[in-house]
Amino acid sequence: MEKQNYNHLTRTFQRLSRFEHLSAIAGWDMFTNMPPNGSAARGDALAELSVLRHQILTDKKIATLLQAAVQENLNDVERANLREMTRQYQEAILLPASLVEEKSLVGTRCEHGWRTQRPANDWQGFSANLKEVVRVSREEAKLRADAKGKSCYDALLDIYEPGMTSAKLDVLFGDLRTWLPDLLQKVVDKQEKETVVTPTGPFATQDQRELGLETMKLLGFDFNGGRLDVSAHPFCGGVPQDVRITTRYDESDLVSALFGVIHETGHARYEQNLPREWLGQPVAQARSTAIHESQSLFFEMQLGRSKEFLKLLLPMVTARFGKQPAFEAANFIAVNQRVERGFIRVDADEVSYPAHVVLRYEIERALIDGDIEVEDIPALWDEKMQHWLGLSTKDNFRNGCMQDIHWTDGAFGYFPSYTLGAMYAAQLFNSAKLALPQLESDIAEGNFTALFDWLRQNIWQHGSRFTTSELITNATGEDLNPLYFRKHLEARYL
């Protein structure tokens, strides 16, 4: 029978995707609804699912099937799917099942502790759990590095961003260093001369939630295939058929939750528009974490912070919170395009945001490569925050090195995706504007049909059919070019 080896593989990967579905929903529930005493049992259950998936993926038969399927008469999409299957298999066989289980268990324990340790500024308690996560992550990195002939950090980075290396990042981030601090200073100096009225709360959580839901609807979120909830750290999870996004509310701050929702909606629209006919196969998955972040930042920054979109948002805001001086159109735009040096990454404006990312990248790379230890993190964090943003986080662990969730489950290598994503987003938006001359007036009218069709045709519908480089070149005519990001920031803020 033609393609019988390939077809056997597709059945196996379909089965894997169903277990991943269960794991994703159990993980979402753990972050949103689960009572505290459920943590240990949930951790055990998720670890069991991780081991089961690992066993299915690393079965000796898989290697034989992959080799045989190469000889079969496959079309372009099937070849791409086979490439992605092979990649997943090769990543999985590098790790023993015992390490997969241990990583899941220590990650769940660290994340659960972090929820109460962060508000309490309890670095000692958190660092004890983080040391276990780092120990296991280094073990994983060493196994991957030895097999791939890469550095330990690059071996983990490759999981999130295939083909990316710290050498390439050093060039991209090195370029940022040459112009970003100066641009940041210029924008801050310029905005200091402008009078901006801060919105006055309180902003009731229920009203904020309704505003978020209305904005998601405006942005095309499919509520028959997803929902909005609350968690300690905003995220997008679930599966393409059932996308779960979360935010967190602060009744003194209108902007944080709203733009958290817009950011996560960008992730969600990508997931909801992945190729349905290939779902359950690796080729239908998102291309990479940087491409995923490019979609959330396309929504949050390129689109969401544009003057046209903010003017569209304003009547929705005043309908819920009434009129006040801060909600005059020019002021509302100024509030949402305000550039300030702050402690918190997820609340950072797009000019200072890369500083938060480069700082984390430098620390996590040194940590995984064994150049520093967990106890060195707070002092290094403080030093780098002072260098980039002129802020001290000494003894302020809650708003310093404990603010993010990523390290709790060993997601080392993820952080660079945010700034790579910002660069991709700027490049994509530039190409969309060239392809759609009416784009600005469309946005002003709340008509996103052409824009979302462009994203669907160029990014969403392709899943992992193309490499990251091929995908971005097909969409924009060139590989990643950070110049578009710089031009965007200069045009909007100077």
Annotated catalytic residues are 264
Does 102 fall in a domain? Answer: no
* Residues 85 and 117 grouped into a single domain: no
Does 41 fall in a domain? Answer: yes
Does 104 fall in a domain? Answer: no
**Per-residue confidence (pLDDT) for residue 1, from 0 to 100:** 59
Q: Is the pLDDT of residue 256 over 80?
A: yes
Tokens representing 364 are 């996590």
* Residues 202 and 330 grouped into a single domain: yes
* Residues 161 and 255 grouped into a single domain: yes
Does 101 fall in a domain? Answer: no
493 contact partners, CB below 8 Å, separation of at least 6: 183, 187, 190, 337, 339, 351
Alpha-carbon distance values, 94 to 52, 145, 256, 430, 444 (Å): 16, 10, 40, 40, 51
Instruction: With cut-offs at 50, 70 and 90, classify the pLDDT of residue 26.
Output: very high
pTM over 0.85: yes
Residue 267, marked binder: yes
Count of other CB atoms within 10 angstroms of residue 183: 18
Q: 247 - beta bridge partners?
A: 230
> Amino acid letter at 247?
T
Q: Is the pLDDT of residue 372 over 70?
A: yes
Q: 461 - beta bridge partners?
A: none
> Amino acid letter at 381?
W
Q: What is the mean pLDDT of residues 291-309?
A: 98
On whether the CB atoms of residues 277 and 226 are closer than 8 A, the answer is no
pLDDT (tens digit, 9 = 90+) per residue, 458-472?
999 999 999 999 999
* Residues 40 and 174 grouped into a single domain: no
On whether the CB atoms of residues 400 and 378 are closer than 8 A, the answer is yes
* Residues 123 and 85 grouped into a single domain: no
* Residues 42 and 139 grouped into a single domain: no
Q: Which of 134, 428, 93, 489 is nearest to 287 (CA)?
A: 428
* Residues 87 and 124 grouped into a single domain: no
CATH number, domain with residue 201: 1.10.1370.30
Total domains in the chain come to: 2
Instruction: With cut-offs at 50, 70 and 90, classify the pLDDT of residue 398.
Output: very high
Does 453 fall in a domain? Answer: yes
Q: What is the mean pLDDT of residues 13-37?
A: 97
Give the Cα separation of 201 and 183 in Å (integer). 32
Residue 54, marked binder: no
Q: Is the pLDDT of residue 489 over 90?
A: yes
pLDDT (tens digit, 9 = 90+) per residue, 441-450?
999 999 999 9
State which of 69, 94, 119 marks the end of a domain: 94
On whether the CB atoms of residues 156 and 137 are closer than 8 A, the answer is yes
**Per-residue confidence (pLDDT) for residue 2, from 0 to 100:** 84
Does 62 fall in a domain? Answer: yes
State which of 32, 62, 94 marks the end of a domain: 94
Range of the structural domain that residue 27 is part of? 1-94
On whether the CB atoms of residues 53 and 15 are closer than 8 A, the answer is no
State percent of the chain over pLDDT 90.
99
Give the Cα separation of 321 and 101 in Å (integer). 48
Does 10 fall in a domain? Answer: yes
pLDDT (tens digit, 9 = 90+) per residue, 57-83?
999 999 999 999 999 999 999 999 999
Please give the distance of CA 243 from its chain centroid, rounded to a whole number.
14
Count of other CB atoms within 10 angstroms of residue 322: 8
* Residues 84 and 118 grouped into a single domain: no
* Residues 86 and 114 grouped into a single domain: no
Q: Which of 491, 216, 474, 248 is nearest to 351 (CA)?
A: 491
Q: Which of 179, 436, 172 is nearest to 303 (CA)?
A: 436
* Residues 120 and 226 grouped into a single domain: yes
Tokens representing 272 are 């909801």
State which of 94, 120, 145 marks the end of a domain: 94
* Residues 123 and 79 grouped into a single domain: no
Q: Which of 136, 146, 175 is nearest to 50 (CA)?
A: 136
Side-chain-facing half-sphere of 32: CA atoms under 13 Å: 20
Does 310 fall in a domain? Answer: yes
Torsion sign, CA atoms 480, 483, 487, 489 = positive
* Residues 237 and 281 grouped into a single domain: yes
What's the mean pLDDT when you consider all of the chain? 97
